[in-house]
A = this chain, B = another copy of it.
Amino acid sequence: MRPAGNGQRGPVDHERREQILGAANEHFRHYGYKKTTVADLAKAIGLSTAYIYKFFDSKRAIGEEICRQCHDRVMTDIEGVVRSGKPASERLRLIFLTLARDGIDLLFNDRKMHDIVLAALEEGWSTATDFDAELLLHVRSVIADGRETGEFERKTPLEEACRGVVLALQPVRHPVLLEFNHNTLVEDASLLAGLVLRSLSA
């Protein structure tokens, strides 16, 4: 079966994995997820198609990994905001703006990458729900902070407030809506942030 039991499929040889992911990153970025074949990736690193499957269960598994990297990049930005030490309201506003900007960035500067995010949504990859969960965590921590410092009101149940905020983020986040709204997206993000902050303020 699988050459080794190190959690991932594949041998201890962690390097090959990275090689494959590197090739995937380039190819997905240039040609999009659907249009690059596993054979393309194999050729890029000078090995056979079959060998790829020693390291990944499927093309989709490669896609998920790359998708996760995409999400991680955005999430890193969000974490930077969360940890910035600014007032909670400011951090929350920045979360809105950051998501909007990163969304636009992904959509325009990396248009081909964008289609992997869509695939993830359409085919229900776990990366999408993972991202949601992580985002909710960050939002909750900022709101909780704000409540502790007295910046935010404390009457509304915390969970309810958090879920509301995450919902309100949707128009700024969802790739499909981005396509329709990108021209006013940052403005929209700012408006929504204003509304959300008013709803939270003590």
Binding site for B on A (CB under 8 A): 121, 153, 156, 160-161, 163-165, 167-168, 170-171, 174, 176-177, 180, 188, 191-192, 194-200
Question: How many identical subunits does the complex contain?
Answer: 2
A174 to B171, CA, bound (A): 10
A184 to B3, CA, bound (A): 44
A177: B residues at CB distance < 8 A: 170, 174, 176-177
Within 8 Å by CB of A167, from B121, B165, B188, B197, lies B188
A165 to B192, CA, bound (A): 8
A192: B residues at CB distance < 8 A: 164, 167-168
Within 8 Å by CB of A168, from B163, B168, B176, B180, lies B168
Q: Contact at A195–B199, with CB atoms within 8 Å? A: yes
Given contacts A198-B156, A199-B198, contact A191 B163 (CB under 8 A): yes
A196: B residues at CB distance < 8 A: 195, 199
| Chain B residue, CB-CB nearest to A163 | B191
A165 to B196, CA, bound (A): 10
How distant is A135 from chain B, measured CB to nearest CB, in Å?
Answer: 15
Q: Contact at B194–A164, with CB atoms within 8 Å? A: yes
How distant is A164 from chain B, measured CB to nearest CB, in Å?
Answer: 4
A197: B residues at CB distance < 8 A: 199
How distant is A120 from chain B, measured CB to nearest CB, in Å?
Answer: 12
How distant is A197 from chain B, measured CB to nearest CB, in Å?
Answer: 8
How distant is A193 from chain B, measured CB to nearest CB, in Å?
Answer: 9
Q: Contact at A164–B191, with CB atoms within 8 Å? A: yes
| Chain B residue, CB-CB nearest to A180 | B121
Q: Contact at B156–A191, with CB atoms within 8 Å? A: no
A188: B residues at CB distance < 8 A: 167
A156 to B193, CA, bound (A): 13
A167: B residues at CB distance < 8 A: 171, 188, 191-192, 195
How distant is A14 from chain B, measured CB to nearest CB, in Å?
Answer: 36
